[in-house]
Copies of this chain bind each other. A is one copy, B any other.
C-alpha cells in the first residue's frame, strides 16, 4: 500500500515538503491542501509587484497545481480548507469546491504558516484598509490603487513588510507615512539601526512616526487617528503589525503549543502526534544562539524545515539544527540586516554582553564607490563568543551578515573572526574586512587593552552623579561642527604633547568619529598611567545615532 501523505498549506513549508516527499518516495499518494487559490507563491515578492519593480504578476507563482501534477504527481487541491483534524482516525475534514469530505492520511505535514494581525480598531475593516500576505491580498490592494488612485497612505507597523510596502507605495506616487508604536522602526534590531532605516525612508520622502499608535481609521474622512490625537490623511491604510501563526486546527486537535506561541515540534520536526510533522511560520524551533524555543517566521527556515519535515515523515531521519533568525531588508538604496541576537535581546537573555561597532568602508577606500557600512557585533564577555551581528549601509551589508551567520552557526569567538581570511581585492573589501576589524575591536575590549563603552552607556554615565570627562580626539573642525557638551578636544596626534591638560583623577571617555582614533588615543593614555579610561565604540557617529 502506498503511503498516504497529506500536506496542509501550499507555500514555503508545505509545498517544499510535498516536493521533497515525492523525491523520497515515488510511490506515495501525496496531496496538498491549500485554502487560497494559489500554491507556491512568492510572498516575499509581493511588495515588489506593488512597486512595479517586478512587472509580471505570473513571476510570483513558482508552481501551479498543473506543474505539481505533471512533475511530481502531487495532487494539489486549491480553494480547499482543512477544517477538522481527527488524529485518532488519521483523517482531515476538508471543505473545497466539491463540498466537504474526510481525507485519510498515514502522515500529515502541517505548513499552515500565519496570518497578518489586524488590530480591532474602529474602522480597521473598512474597504480601503488592507493587510498583505497572499496573492489575493496583493491583487485586492493593487486593484484598489488602480481604481481609486490614492494620494496618501498610512502604513501601520515599521517591520520589514511595512517598510517594503511603504517603499512600494512611494514608488506608485503615493505620499506615505509609516506609523510605529515602538521608539524605532525595524524594532528587532537595536535602536541605532532603526534610526538609520528611518533616515533612509525620510530621505526618500517617506515619513516615519515612531512612539505612535493608531487608534482609529475614519473612513468617511479618509483619515487615520493617531494615539497622539493627530489625524493623518490616508486614502489607503495598510496594517503590517505582525503575523500570528495559524493554529486553529492544531489547537482543535490538541497538538501541543509552545510558550512562544508556536506549534511544538521535536528535532525531527515531529509534533506531539508522531504521525504529524510541521514546518514554517507556525512552529517554534530552537534558536541556535539563545538555545531557547522561538518563532522564526522567515522564508529560508520555512523552506528548509519543509524539506526536513518531509524527510522525517517519509522515514529518512534528518535532524533540524535550529534557526539563527538571519534577516535582511532593502530600504530604497540601503540594506539593513541582522543575525542572531541583538544587543537588547542578548541582554534580555541574560548574557554578559559586549559590543563592538565599526563604521567602515564596504570595500577599499581608494577604490571608487566605497560606501560606509555600520557593523555591530554583540558578544559574550565571558568567553568572547559571538552572539549576534547587525549592519546597515548601501553596499555589502548582506555579505557581512552572512559571514556572521556562519560564525554563529560555528559558535565562533571574536578570535576566529579577527583572523579569518575573507576574500579581498579592492572592489570587494579591504585587506582587513570590516568583520575582522570589528572583531579586533571586540578582542581589544575583552582583553582590557582598549575597553569599549557604548553610546547609550556613555549617555547614561554623563547623566550620573560622577560623569566621566569626554575627551574628543577628532580634529578641531570636526569638533566645532558638533560635539558632546563639555568635551575636551585634543586631536589624537597631539595627545602625547598635551597630556598635562588631561586630568588624572577622573574617569575618561575618549572618542573620535568612528572609534579608530579614539583607540589610538586610549592606547597612548593607558600607557601614560590613565587607566580609568574607555573608548566610545562607533564614536561620534554612533553617539549621534543613539543619543540624539
Contact = CB atoms under 8 A, between A and B. Distances in A.
Contacts of A76: none
A201 interface: no
A195 B402 CA distance: 28
Q: How many A residues touch the partner, as a band?
A: 35 or more
A492 B71 CA distance: 8
Q: How many copies does the complex hold?
A: 2
Interface stretch (A147-155, A248-256, A425-433, A453-461): A425-433
Contacts of A296: 421
A283 to B, nearest CB: 15
Interface string A393-430: 00000110111011101101000101111111111110
B298 A421 contact: yes
A422 B368 contact: no
A527 B25 contact: yes
A398 B423 contact: yes
Contact of A329 (B416, B418, B425): B425
A416 B409 contact: yes
A328 interface: yes
Nearest to A56: B366
Interface stretch (A224-232, A317-325, A342-350, A503-511): A317-325
A339 B428 CA distance: 15
B421 A368 contact: no
17 contacts: A26-B527, A45-B364, A48-B367, A59-B365, A70-B493, A299-B424, A299-B431, A300-B436, A324-B421, A326-B422, A326-B424, A328-B423, A328-B428, A330-B427, A335-B428, A402-B402, A406-B420
Interface of A: 12, 23-27, 42, 44-45, 48, 53-54, 59-60, 62, 70-71, 73, 160, 296, 298-304, 307-308, 320-321, 323-330, 335, 337, 339, 364-368, 398-399, 401-403, 405-407, 409-410, 412, 416, 418-429, 431-433, 436, 440, 492-493, 496, 519-520, 523-524, 527-528
